Chains A and B, each alone.
Chain A
């Protein structure tokens, strides 16, 4: 599945400054792998040693927090818009 991924400022050094990139994958987990192939190091920033998403990383599929769906197993469809957003904001 080809999707659009919005990249937050702290990760743009890895994406040549790009705020939006293309990616593919059946699930969020696959997508992170695909992104790591294109932009080496990105997965390490988002996931801890055991492969779980870091505490302060939020990922959204079409504005929906993936924790309300199946987390990293959330299934993607063609044209989905993915946002990676630092959790530390607001309040």
Chain B
């Protein structure tokens, strides 16, 4: 613990403020997410000169075994106060899946086991709520497709903050229960995620709450960079050749790209010669459609997919995700519901990892990109699997075998299973 505090204490001057990504206008580092002049998104403006003076591979390696080992590059001013164990999830060398797909060096970044709520959202929320407390908030909230709601509710319980989570009315049972158990106020809105999001933007204008993905979004979104930092460190301080990332709002993909480039800029890795490819569900593919049609603007869609966690028809960072894919010479591809279920089963069967629907989409797209030769055999590939399958059981409940029922006798066992070997 003392080391953990030491890591983030030194760099109190690392945040200069917020800066509009479009017009460059500067703002103080408060709870604000939109430029009041051009409506562009605000981003954290770091004092990289100060960070560069302190940061090193060794300093990171001596840090806590959580995402807080990268505190120098995260937008909080003091030590973390909540979500101390988020991140640093396994990077698994997926030999079996790689063999099936004809990929020699395939890795899975396994955020199905993130602490405490089993999705990558534990990363962004640890940062967002630590920052919200620094800014003096006593209530937190979010608009969510489920995973974020679970994580905000859990961290709010830990931080003893009032909590309001807003979700679409038709979420999976596991995701609803996974929020309710922490006793927040769960508001199920009649409508899809985009309706929830629009409503929350309006609610956020009226109530003094820390909406993690609205007024706290500049800080929150930075948490996704840790998926790049960890991957680089776990590969021995190298960027992979190709990453495959699920795309909902587009923030995750954008920040993974930023994370690798930040490491390079600070000299922690030598080069970023990496393609970033995005995965969307066919029934909600506003970014992939723009890519395929060669558009540079995102046309919103009305989602219709089993991959509810990534069913965002009007993605806030769609434009930037598309830009990152183009810059890195990656691709965007889609998966049907059927391919998504097959993707979940394929990952489970080959690697023993039970991913949620977004993971199914990612694996299905990984497979397509490998088949099309967009990912080549020799590349070091990392697929980001960001949520746990136990939360979306509805998706696969009719796609698995039934149990073998027997009487409790050896005879019944042998007659029913008719096994040849002993």
Contacts and interface: CB of A to CB of B under 8 A. Distances in A.
Interface of A: 6, 8-11, 13, 19, 45-46, 54-58, 60, 63, 65, 67-68, 83, 85-91
B300 A88 contact: no
Interface in B74-125: none
A57 B22 CA distance: 13
B319 A85 contact: no
Nearest to A57: B39
Contacts of A83: 198, 202
A76 to B, nearest CB: 18
Candidate in B39, B195, B250 with the most chain A CB atoms within 10 angstroms? B39
Given A10-B35, A83-B198, A90 B205 contact: no
Contacts of B248: 91
A19 B206 contact: yes
A19 B201 CA distance: 13
B316 A88 contact: yes
Given A8-B201, A87-B316, A91-B317, A56 B143 contact: no
Contact of B314 (A10, A11, A58): A58
Contacts of A54: 38-39
Contacts of B211: 89
A55 B198 contact: no
A46 B39 CA distance: 8
Contacts of A11: 36
Nearest to B34: A86
A74 to B, nearest CB: 14
B250 A87 contact: no
A91 B195 contact: no
B316 A91 contact: yes
Interface residues of B, number: 42
Given A63-B191, A89-B201, 8 more contacts: A45-B38, A55-B22, A56-B34, A63-B195, A63-B198, A65-B314, A86-B39, A88-B40
A10 B36 contact: yes
A45 B39 CA distance: 8
A54 B20 CA distance: 14
Nearest to B316: A88
B299 A89 contact: no
A19 B207 CA distance: 12
Given A10-B36, A10-B39, A89 B300 contact: no
Interface string B30-51: 0001111111110000000000
B413 interface: no
A56 B22 contact: yes
Given A19-B206, A58-B198, A90 B249 contact: yes
A22 B204 CA distance: 22
